[in-house]
Each structure stands twice: as structure tokens, then as C-alpha cells.
Amino acid sequence: MSYYSDIAISVLILMTLALSLNLLLGYAGRVSMAHAVFYGIGAFTAARLTLPTVDELGGVATAGLQTGYSWSWFPALLAAMVVAFLAALLISIPAVRLVRGEYLILLTLAFQLVANQLMGVLDNVTGGPYGLSGIPPITIGGTVFFEPEKFIWIMLIATVFAFAACWALGESPFGRLLKGIREHESAVASVGKNPVFPELLAFSISAAIAGGVGALSAFYYGSVVPSNFNLNLSILIVAVVVLGGVGNLWGTVIGAIVLGSLEPFLRQFVGDSAIPWQAVIYGAALVVMMRLRPAGILPEGVGFGRLLGRGGGKPPKVIPTEEEALGRLRHVESRDSGPDSVPIVEVFDLQKSFGGLKAVNGATFTLERGQVTALIGPNGAGKTTIFNMMCGGLRADSGRVHLRGVEVTGKPAYDLAQRGLARSFQDVRVCQQLTAWDNVAMGVQGQAGEKFLRLVFTPLAVRRNERLVRQKALDCMALLGIADRANVRVSELSYGDQKLVAIARLLATDCDVLLLDEPTSGVDPASVEKVISGIGRLRDLGHTVCLVEHSVHFVQRLADRAVFLDQGTVIAEGTVDELMGRRELAELYFGT
């Protein structure tokens, strides 16, 4: 019985480590090859804190290596999680701010290798290559949890707790924000959310859980050795997540059972060759999975109910009418709008060069409150470049942008959105793995559930706020005629409906100024009418809209005024009919 309990404990440890990594890899989309190090940091921290003091050993200790501070196990467990949290925060600051993709993998890989080597040489901290031993086991109410049959209950409770914590975070507004950052960081910033802090928290929380698991393993095994926290373990943890399904915690449970049970199973047949054969088998399994089922055993968003053909894609129980949605969404400016005589947006003498090419050359124009203004002109006129400089996506060489009379030149996109100016993108940038409802809900400002501390300490208030957020998102979708597809994953929607989801997300921000980058580009004719109707609704609600669009028909139907650009310079302003009625402008626009 002890043998099987010990195997189960090993599987649970691997499962908990993989669950914590899936919070980072699956929800935030950031790959870490250093998870074993954070597991080790927690183990060594708990070991040093719980080992007896020199005085308790009668003043006798071998170079002080087997002594500590004689803490009880629970405070040491909490301390191990805090130390792992801080260590991850230290490495995640450059990881989040400076590197992406394969460079992030290399950075965390370097940290794994360096930290593991340090564990083997810092004799006064870790005990050197032989580690620390004599770590006291967990004792609760006089019961010592040393035998596998007893400790398995401790580990089972810890695994359930880790699963519940990762599930609560991942399926909360905070998790929704992480998924948005994973798929389109720029889109999240464009609706007023700073992507840096959620990523930092995802790194650190994931590591803190791994540190807690490390502490529990130290209490169970009674010793910690640096070689137990090597790169092979980090790779195994990643393999569990990928095999089970990135972004699916139930898949991680299955992956951990499959790969965690592999070594003891092989030992029954090949003896001491089990470890190398284990690496061969799980490597081959990953290759096969990448070919046959790249999303893992249970892909993101797929639960057991969906596998059995139940659930998914159902519309909300109550879909509001357009009139009801319009009544709730009636736009009221909550920000200081400035003097009425001052245009809501002013662009002064913007300049931008790319090498020897002058893309924008002194562009100057204004956006008037409550109007739809179009930036038009031939290809290469500098429309998109100006648009990007207005939205904070591109830094101007010179010139200024004012919002309500206040200069906002060079402000990041999330800051501009918080001040009341948000944008959409030509390539949509909606989150394909999320439902339309969640995409739109991401745009709602001031969500309690996006704040980690509020999520932890005021869960009931967060739940109440989330109901309001989802109602607002549904209203925005109802106004654009897509509320019946609220629970449909965006990847399953037509491109035209995806454009409408992006516009609904902008509407949910309550920003006074909305900038739309080619909203009908790539959209079928039937959906163009929906987009035109949707933008008209934005104006009805009092928003100021600026759009870049090549379709004269589209612009004529919507724009109150247009700004004609050529070679980065404003050469005319007026209504679309007035501008297109001028022969020289029509020739520039159509190239005839």
C-alpha cells in the first residue's frame, strides 16, 4: 500500500506543478522553462526555516549546514510561497517588459540553468550538491504525516486547492484579461488595460504555487537535493501541460496521470532503464500529439460535457431588444469634456519619417464632438500612420495631439483609452479562443474582477460586478445585432461578425472618441450594412468617431466630414460629396 501511495504522491506533485504552470502557459500564453527552479526555491526555503537551530542541537552542527530556524511547518510553507513569488517577480520584470516568444524561452531557460547550478554551490544556503536532510515532517494535532498513507491526504488537499485557485483565477475577469493579453496584447491595451501587471502576477502566482509544492515535498521526503530541480523536470512539467491541453486544467490532470504514472509502470518491465525510456516515450507522445491533436487531449474550452456533445454555443437566456440596450447605453460623458469651443481632438503638425521616406508631413486637423470624421486619400497618403500616432501605437517625430485641450502625444494606448480615446484594428484582433461575450466584456472599464486583491478578498462583490459587466457587454452586442451569438467562440464567427465584435468591444469602453481602422476591409457586402448600422449607432450614442476607410460609398453614407490627405499632408477638408466633387481630388483618389 505504501508503494502505491508513494506513486500517487509523486503524480499529485507533478499534477500541482503542471496546474500552476498552465496558469502561466495556458492563460497568459507565456512559456517558462524554469518552473522546477521555483519548486526548488520553495523546498529549500521551507527546509532551512524548519530545521532545528544550533542551540536545539546542543551547539553541535556540521558547518551549520543542517541547522535552521525551527519554524513550524505552516509558516514555513507560506514563507516558501512568498520567496518563490518574489523570485519569479524578479525574473518576470525583464521577461514581461523586454522579451517575447522564443527569447522568453531562452531567458527562463538561462535562469533555470544558472539557478540550479547556484543551488549546488551555495553550501551555506542549500547544503551544496548533497542538499539538506533531517527536515521535520508535517505534524497536525499530534499526528505526524510521514508515512505515504497519511501524507497522500495532505497532498490531495493541496492539489485540490491548487486546482481551485487556478480555476478561480483563470475563469475570472482576471483570467479573461490574461487570455486577451495572450492573443492580442495591443488590443487589450487599446481598450484601456495595462498588460504589464497581469503578466507579472501570472508569473509570480504560478511560481508561488510551485514554491508551496516544493515545501510540501521537502516535508514529505525529509531532504532536498539540487539535482531534483533540474531542467529535465521543467521539461516534464511543460510536457504535461502540452499533452493534456494548454489552457485546460482538466487536461492537465489527465496529462499528469499519464506521464506521472509512466516511470513506475516502466520499472515493472525494464527496471533501471525506466527513466531513459520514460523520456523517449513522452517525447514520442508529444510528437504524435502535435501531428494528430495539437491542442492536447482536452483543448482549451473543451470540458467533458462538450466532449459528450452537450453545451457550448448556446445564446443567452434573455436577449435585450435594441431599444432596451440603447436605453441602458445612452452615452453620458463622465470625463471633463473641456470648453465647447475646443474640438475634442486636435492634431498639430504631425511629422513621421521612415528612413528617407517622409510618410507624414505636417498633418493638422480636428475632430468635432459627436461627428463621424473620415480620413481619406490615395494609397500611401499616410492615413494609417497618422491614425497610429494618434492612438499611441507609433511615436511621432514631431507634432502634437490634444484630447479635450490636453496634450496626449506619445501616451501609451492603455493610457489614451483610460482618458477616453480607443481604437479598433484593420486586422480585427479579437481573441479567437474566447466567446464573443468575453471579447466584448474585456472592453468594460473598472472591473473589480480584474484586480487580483479584489478577486481574493471581495469575491462576492466581484461576482455582482461581473453580472453588470456581462449585461453591459450583452447590451453592446444587442445594439449591433449579434447578441444571439454571445456564447459562440469568435473563431467560429464570420469575418463580418468578428468586425462587429471588435466595434462592440470599443462601445463597451465608454470612450468618447472611437477610432476605427478600415472597419469594412475584407467584409462581405451583407455584413457591410451591419457595420454601417453599427457605426451609426455609435454616433447616436454621442461618440466622436474617426475612421480610415477606402470605400467612398461607405464614407459617403456615414461621415459628417472628411479630411483628404496626400503624401502625409492635409490638402482639403469638408463633406465627402464636396471633396469628391473636386476634380483634382477625385483624380488623386482614384488615380485617373
DSSP 8-state assignment for residue 516: E
Who contacts 199 (Cβ-Cβ below 8 Å, separation ≥6)? 28, 30, 92, 96, 178, 181
DSSP 8-state assignment for residue 418: H
Which parts of the chain have pLDDT scores under 50?
63-64, 308-311, 332-335
The 8 Å CB, 24+ separation contacts for 110-117 are 111/34, 111/37, 112/33, 112/34, 112/36, 112/37, 112/231, 112/234, 113/231, 115/34, 115/37, 115/40, 115/41, 116/36, 116/37, 116/40, 116/226, 116/229, 116/230, 116/231
CA 393 to CA 429: how far, in whole Å? 14
Closest CA to 568 of 397, 385, 402: 385
Are the beta carbons of 447 and 468 closer than 8 angstroms? no
| Residue pLDDT, tens place only, 285-323 | 778 777 777 778 898 877 655 554 444 567 787 888 888
DSSP per position, 318-361: SPPPHHHHHHHH-----S----TTS-SEEEEEEEEEETTEEEEE
Centre a 10 Å sphere on the Cβ of residue 141 and count the other Cβ atoms it contains.
Answer: 4
Query: Which DSSP helix (H) or strand (E) runs through 523?
Result: none
pLDDT for res 523:
83
For the chain, list the domains and their CATH numbers. 2-229 (no CATH), 345-590 (3.40.50.300)
Indicate the SS3 state at residue 436: helix
pLDDT for res 333:
44
DSSP-assigned beta bridge partners for residue 565: 570
CA 82 to CA 12: how far, in whole Å? 22
pLDDT for res 339:
58
pTM: 0.90
pLDDT for res 97:
67
Q: Provide the H-helix boundaries in 26-100.
A: 35-50, 73-98
Dihedral sign of CA atoms 111, 115, 117, 121 in order: positive
